Each structure stands twice: as structure tokens, then as C-alpha cells.
Amino acid sequence: MSKKVLANDGISQSGVDALVAAGYEVITTNVAQEQLEKYINDKEIAVLLVRSATTVRKALIDACPSLKIIGRGGVGMDNIDVDYARSKGLKVINTPAASSASVAELVFAHLYGGVRFLYDSNRNMPLEGDENFKGLKKQYAKGIELRGKTIGIIGIGRIGQEVAKIAAGVGMNVIAHDSFAKEAPTVSWNLFDGQTINVEIPLVSKDHLLTQSDFISLHVPAQKDYVLGATEFQKMKKGAVVVNAARGGVLDEVALVAALENEHLSFAALDVFETEPKPEIQLLMNSKLSLSPHIGAATNEAQDRIGVELADQIKEILG
């Protein structure tokens, strides 16, 4: 049986090392989508590893009989026809836990940058800092603290729980809504001195979360309907903040811009977009948006964990 692995969107060196040590040949060539079928068949690839750039649909699955495993380095698998692949006897794997802490830290990078206007001051200081220092100082002088505020987390899975840990540590009031959670989760983490902290996160209705939260962070999978749209934005507190580091399409971007423009929301942060890789210009140019290019999982530590986790699963399946 072939022991060739094509990591088409890359894999960490630690993942490569683990696979090579187990006798696998790891290919990290980035093959264009339209050439992928021929490459897989010519090389008799057994394992195809992707991230978000490469799609694995029915046609590719049907055309590549050598494939045994499709792996997604990350959480969401909306770029893979998962059910169909499994119906054809392929194993489909991902790494749901590896990047959770990285995404949560990015959420708070956006939140801290937002409440102190850093996303805007970093644009304007290079342009006006030498001639309008006092004016900018006055413009950005009304920041707020996160401590003591309420954060509502929609989706309290692995990533949502990591967000809850940071929020609790900061001194925020944490509430959550999750359509699938049956009981309030308890999150726990270790401090630098060995102490363990345990905090129960109360589950509330979606309406309660919308009306009571100062900050709302989305951590839900891709789905057909918007989780947050015009109706939900209107229910939020005036001056509330929304962060989406989950998936593009779970939030109505047109309605979000409207809520920012009429000053119902004070600012918002987006790491993901409906029209990736070409976000709408109205988002890119909006001065009340803190933006990043889908980098939630993109830390060196997360990529190391993803590579090792994929390697472990491949070895367990194929030996």
C-alpha cells in the first residue's frame, strides 16, 4: 500500500518529521486545484492533507482510487464532501483541538485593540501623528476596559471555551448560548504556579445573550442561515461589539455595516468573510472594523500541534 502523503496546503516540520519517522513519504508541493486529480493518480497518493485553500469534492474523490485518507488541518471541513468521502470508505480526519487557543487569543487581540481604538490609530498615526498628535490623542481618549463587562459567546465548543477562559481570567462576566449544549460547561486551566482554576459558564437563551452582552463572539460552524443579522443586531445593547473569528457567512455583513454606520454597534472585528478571498470593499474601508485575513489558527504553536495531530491519526489508521 502507498505511504505517500500530499500536504497540499502545507504542514509543519514537526508533522513531516513524525510521518517520515514512521516510514511515510511527505510531499509538500502545492498542486493547483485543476491539476490535483492527475497528480494524485500519477503519484498514487494515499493521504491528501488540506487546509482551507484546497477543496475535495465528489468528482475528485471518485477520480482518485488511491486515496485512503483526507485530512483537514484545522476545524471546519466545509471544503470537503465529508459524508460522501466516508460513504466511499475513505477516512476523513481533522484537528479540532489544535488551534483553539490561537483563535481565542486572536479574539482578544481584536477586543483589546478595539476598545482602545488601536485598529484605527494604527492607520492614522503614520499619517497625522507628527502634525495632529493632540487631536488624535483627544480622538482616541475614550477607551473602555474589558474587566467587569459581559461577553456573550455563541457556540461554547472547544474554541468558545478557550475564549471563556481568557474572558474569565480578565475579569469579565461570561455567558454563553449553544443550541447543542445540554448543560453548562465548566472550563478549567492551570496557572503558572500550578494552581487550577475552574469556572462554570452559564447557558442562556439567544435573546438573553443578545440583550445583556457588551461583547459578542461567534464560534459556530458554517451553516445555511445567518446567526447574526439585522434583527439580532437591533436587539443588542447600543454600543455593543461583535467579533467573528468563526466562519464567513454566519454573520450578515451588509446588516453589520448598517449597524456600525447608524452607531448602534461601536465597532466590530472580522477574521473571516463571506466572499473570501476577496472581502467586500465596504468592509475593508470601514473605519469601525478591526480586520485580519483569516489568521485565527495561524500561529507557529498551533501549526505544530496540527501537524503532529494529523500525523498521529494517519499512523493510527494506516499503521
Cβ atoms of 40 and 32 within 8 Å: the answer is: no
Q: Cβ(175)–Cβ(204) under 8 Å?
A: yes
Look up 147 and say whether it is catalytic: no
Catalytic pick among 145, 200, 263, 276: 276
Beta bridge partners of 217: 153, 243
CB of 48 closer than 8 Å to CB of 71 = yes
CA-CA distance, 238 to 260, in Å (whole number)? 10
Cβ burial 259-298 (10 Å sphere, 16+ → b, else e): bbeeeebbbbbbbbbbeeeebeeebeebebbbebebebbb
Inter-residue contact 79 to 54 (CB < 8 Å): yes
Q: How many CA atoms lie within 13 A of 248 on its CB side?
A: 19
Active-site residue (options: 116, 158, 264, 294): 294
Selecting among 247, 253, 305, 309, the annotated active-site residue is: 247
| Known active-site residue 110 | no
Q: Phi first, then psi: give them for residue 18, nearest 5 degrees.
A: -65, -40
Q: What is the C-alpha separation between 282 and 290, in angstroms, rounded? A: 13
Say whether 294 is catalytic. yes
In degrees, to the nearest 5, what angle opens at C-alpha 136 toward C-alphas 135 and 137?
A: 90
Tell me which residue has cell 479540532: 96
SS3 (DSSP) at 195: coil
Distance of CA 127 to the CA centre of its chain: 32
Contact 58/84 with Cβ under 8 angstroms? yes
| CA-closest candidate to residue 217, choices 288, 306, 149 | 149
Residues labelled catalytic: 247, 276, 294
